């Protein structure tokens, strides 16, 4: 597919928004990119998933690097999560081909819709009390993610399913797992989530590119936007309490999740 040059600003701005949201909230940005690719660009579910995960890799790359420079990340503590997530991403990338073929693409839409609904519900639940918070505490430099090895392997493996199977991010799993299960500070959880997903997205995008489900003409301008936006979002994370952003995007993307679910059953809204 060759995307018209006149529409490049749309792709760049979509990537910029996705990257900024990813850097701010610790998600991959797929919650912005998937509806853009499916319902504005008009890619099939399989091509949208493949192109999305490539763009999300650049979101997580830029965001995790910026968080590392800001002192929010202890890389050594998340190695088991990275390894188990990478393995799961590879395994479920093979299952992706099965869903993408023989008319099963609608189940990709359905799966994305369900995941988006859960992420939106979490954003709303966290955003409402977060409105009263002016700023979040800055974690100590190099804060490590605590937890046992089995806990970390299980969390990483569960998170690796989404990028491999659906081409979307793991922030909806990793950020609450780090904050609620492993008691990590919010900024540390965001930084660790982006870094773990960076490796997951690299594995998944490599598989999907080899499988032929990436549109380079669409991916390139979006990737450029996400790389810039992720650095911007990480800087905003240092200064800005994200409660209001979570609430706004939670409300908007609860509607987006419904559109994906209805699309899976051939209903246009």
Q: How many domains does the chain have?
A: 1
Asked, for residue 32, whether it belongs to a domain, the answer is yes
**Residue 143 domain flag:** no
| Predicted TM-score (pTM) of this structure | 0.75
- Is position 35 within any domain? yes
Q: Check whether 209 has a pLDDT greater than 80.
A: yes
Residue 130 is assigned to a structural domain of this protein? yes
Interval 159-177 mean pLDDT:
77
For residue 35, give both structure tokens: 């509806």
Q: Does any domain span residue 169?
A: yes
Higher model confidence: residue 253 or residue 199? 199
**Tokens linked to 235:** 């800087």
**pLDDT (mean) for 172-177:** 76
Give the rounded percent of residues in the chain with a pLDDT score beyond 70: 80
Q: pLDDT per residue over 80-112, tens digit each?
A: 999 999 999 999 888 888 777 755 667 777 777
What span, in angstroms and rounded, lies between the C-alpha atoms of 222 and 202?
16
Is 144 contained in some domain? no
Token pair belonging to 77: 């503590």
| Domain membership of residue 231 as a residue range | 8-134+149-264
């Amino acid at each position: 597919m060759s995307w018209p040059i006149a529409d490049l600003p749309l792709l760049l701005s979509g990537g910029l928004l996705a990257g900024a949201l990813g850097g701010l909230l610790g998600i991959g940005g797929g919650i912005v990119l998937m509806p853009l690719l499916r319902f504005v660009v008009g890619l099939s579910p399989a091509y949208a998933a493949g192109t999305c995960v490539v763009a999300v890799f650049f979101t997580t790359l830029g965001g995790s690097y910026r968080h590392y420079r800001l002192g929010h990340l202890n890389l050594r503590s998340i190695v088991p999560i990275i390894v188990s997530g990478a393995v799961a991403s590879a395994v479920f990338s093979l299952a992706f081909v099965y869903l993408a073929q023989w008319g099963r693409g609608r189940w990709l839409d359905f799966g994305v819709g369900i995941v988006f609904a859960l992420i939106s519900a979490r954003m709303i639940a966290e955003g409402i009390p977060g409105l009263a918070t002016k700023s979040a505490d800055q974690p100590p430099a190099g804060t490590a993610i605590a937890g046992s090895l089995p806990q970390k392997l299980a969390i990483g493996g569960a998170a690796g399913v989404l990028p491999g199977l659906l081409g979307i991010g793991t922030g909806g799993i990793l950020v609450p797992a780090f904050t609620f299960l492993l008691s990590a500070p919010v900024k540390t959880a965001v930084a660790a989530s982006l870094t773990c997903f960076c490796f997951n997205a690299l594995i998944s995008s490599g598989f999907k590119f080899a499988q032929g489900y990436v549109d380079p003409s669409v991916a390139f301008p979006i990737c450029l936007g996400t790389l810039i936006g992720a650095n911007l979002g990480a800087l905003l994370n240092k200064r800005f309490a994200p409660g209001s952003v979570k609430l706004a995007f939670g409300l908007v993307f609860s509607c987006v999740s419904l559109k994906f679910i209805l699309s899976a059953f051939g209903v246009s809204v």
